[in-house]
Structure 1
Amino acid sequence: MTDASAAPGRPPRKRDSAATKQAILDAAREVFTRSGYDAAGMREIAGLAGVDPRLIGRYFGSKELLFTRVVADAYAGHLMMTPEANAETARSLLTDPTRAHQDGMLLTLRSASSERAAEIMRESLERNFQQELADALEGPHAASRAAVLVAICTGVQFMRNVLHNSALADGDPEVLAEFLTKALNAVAVAPPAAK
């Protein structure tokens, strides 16, 4: 059975709610990443997904809720910055510029000017990644240290994968990873107890 509500000019999509939902999410991620939250249109997302725009409302409720889901997916699969993981995290940040990392950064940058989008992104980051990291850190001020660790890694990603900073993009990855590991450990390792 096929979906007669597919966008004009596109072949009808077979009725498969999971596939339709995923097509909408993929299209939404592409459009939000390219245009940002405010400029992204539901018709554009539906057209790219090959579905009737009404299906977006049916599956996700609203543009805001769709963006919330896209953000959650974009921020998933994060790296941990705990003392035992920092060497691997540093190497990954400096040698593995995946498309997902770059898209997540561009989605954030292009949507941050929207007050509501910034709020959604902040809540997602703090509620999921930052909280998980804080729970994994030992010692005092874990939430503050987690926020600083996220900021360090975000800065490295931005400088390397978006601005293409030549020292980070072309430098010796082993040397850079050693520096970054030390920076991460300076924050991640619990400070000694005050006497």
Structure 2
Amino acid sequence: MTDDSASTGYMSRKRDAAATKQAILHAARTVFTQSGYDGAGVREIAGLAGVDPRLIGRYFGSKEQLFTRVVEDAYADHLMMTPETNAEAARALLSDPTAAHAAGMLLTLRSASNERAATIMRDSLERNFQRVLADELAGPDAAARAALLVAVCTGVQFMRNVLRSSELVNGDAGTLAVYLRAALDAIAAAPSAPAAE
């Protein structure tokens, strides 16, 4: 038994909704990463997945909803940057990224010019990363400090892994990690109470 794709000339596969959804998601991650939101087409994604384009609508509703799901998956794995974890976070930020992290950065850069895509990515970052980080920070202005930490994290990753800054790529990782940890700690640690006047 085959799904609807068999009757329209697409790859024949046994009826398996979960496998079909995964094939679509995998293809969508590839196409959105390569082409960005505006350059990605539903037919291209379906073709790469080997399914009828109508199945994207059936399982995900629309290109926008499919992009939202891809972004949620891409942003699911993130660093904690608290005083207790900043030494590890600094080392990770100054190391070569995993394939998934590199793809997530390219997905973000290539889709950010689309206003709707930018909104989807911002919402995911704020809901799944920034808010979780803020909940771990002691002291005042935790949400604002979490946003600054996310910005520092993103900036370091962009400069090192996309623009390939020579100092960040070729410099002594141990020394750089000491400086980066100090910067992260300066934001993450609860600020001291202001001196009374």
Deviation at 1:3, TM superposition (A): 3.2
The TM-score, its normalising length taken from structure 1, stands at: 0.95
Instruction: Report the aligned-residue RMSD.
Output: 1.6
Deviation at 1:174, TM superposition (A): 1.0
**Which residue number in structure 2 is paired with residue 26 of structure 1?**
26
**Which residue number in structure 2 is paired with residue 95 of structure 1?**
95
**Which residue number in structure 2 is paired with residue 162 of structure 1?**
162
Q: State how far apart, in whole Å, the 2-side matches of 1:192 and 1:176 are.
A: 26
Tell me, yes or no, if the aligned pair for 2:24 and 2:45 is still in contact at 8 Å. yes
The TM-score, its normalising length taken from structure 2, stands at: 0.94
Deviation at 1:12, TM superposition (A): 1.6
Tell me, yes or no, if the aligned pair for 1:7 and 1:47 is still in contact at 8 Å. no
Matches within 5 A, 1:42-191: 42-191=42-191
- Counterparts in 2 of 1:10 and 1:167: CA distance versus 1, 3 Å: farther
**Any idea what the Cα deviations from partners look like across 1:82-118, whole Å, max 9, x if unmatched?**
1101110111111241111111111111101001001
- Counterparts in 2 of 1:168 and 1:8: CA distance versus 1, 3 Å: farther
Q: State how far apart, in whole Å, the 2-side matches of 1:60 and 1:19 are.
A: 14
- Counterparts in 2 of 1:4 and 1:58: CA distance versus 1, 3 Å: closer
Deviation at 1:13, TM superposition (A): 2.0
**Which residue number in structure 1 is paired with residue 3 of structure 2?**
3
Aligned residues: 195
Tell me which amino acid in the other structure corresponds to 1:14.
K
Tell me, yes or no, if the aligned pair for 1:7 and 1:46 is still in contact at 8 Å. no
Deviation at 1:140, TM superposition (A): 0.3
Q: State how far apart, in whole Å, the 2-side matches of 1:144 and 1:4 are.
A: 49
Q: State how far apart, in whole Å, the 2-side matches of 1:171 and 1:58 are.
A: 50
Deviation at 1:17, TM superposition (A): 1.1
Tell me which amino acid in the other structure corresponds to 2:134.
A
- Counterparts in 2 of 1:71 and 1:6: CA distance versus 1, 3 Å: farther
Q: State how far apart, in whole Å, the 2-side matches of 1:162 and 1:8 are.
A: 41
Deviation at 1:7, TM superposition (A): 9.9
Tell me which amino acid in the other structure corresponds to 2:150.
V
Of 52-61 and 90-99, more deviation after overlay is shown by 90-99
- Counterparts in 2 of 1:184 and 1:7: CA distance versus 1, 3 Å: farther
Identical residues among aligned pairs (%): 74
Q: State how far apart, in whole Å, the 2-side matches of 1:84 and 1:67 are.
A: 34
Q: State how far apart, in whole Å, the 2-side matches of 1:111 and 1:102 are.
A: 14
Unaligned runs of 5+ in 2: none
Q: State how far apart, in whole Å, the 2-side matches of 1:140 and 1:162 are.
A: 34
Alignment of 1:38 with 2:38, yes or no, is yes
Tell me which amino acid in the other structure corresponds to 1:68.
T
**Any idea what the Cα deviations from partners look like across 1:133-159, whole Å, max 9, x if unmatched?**
001100000000000000001001101
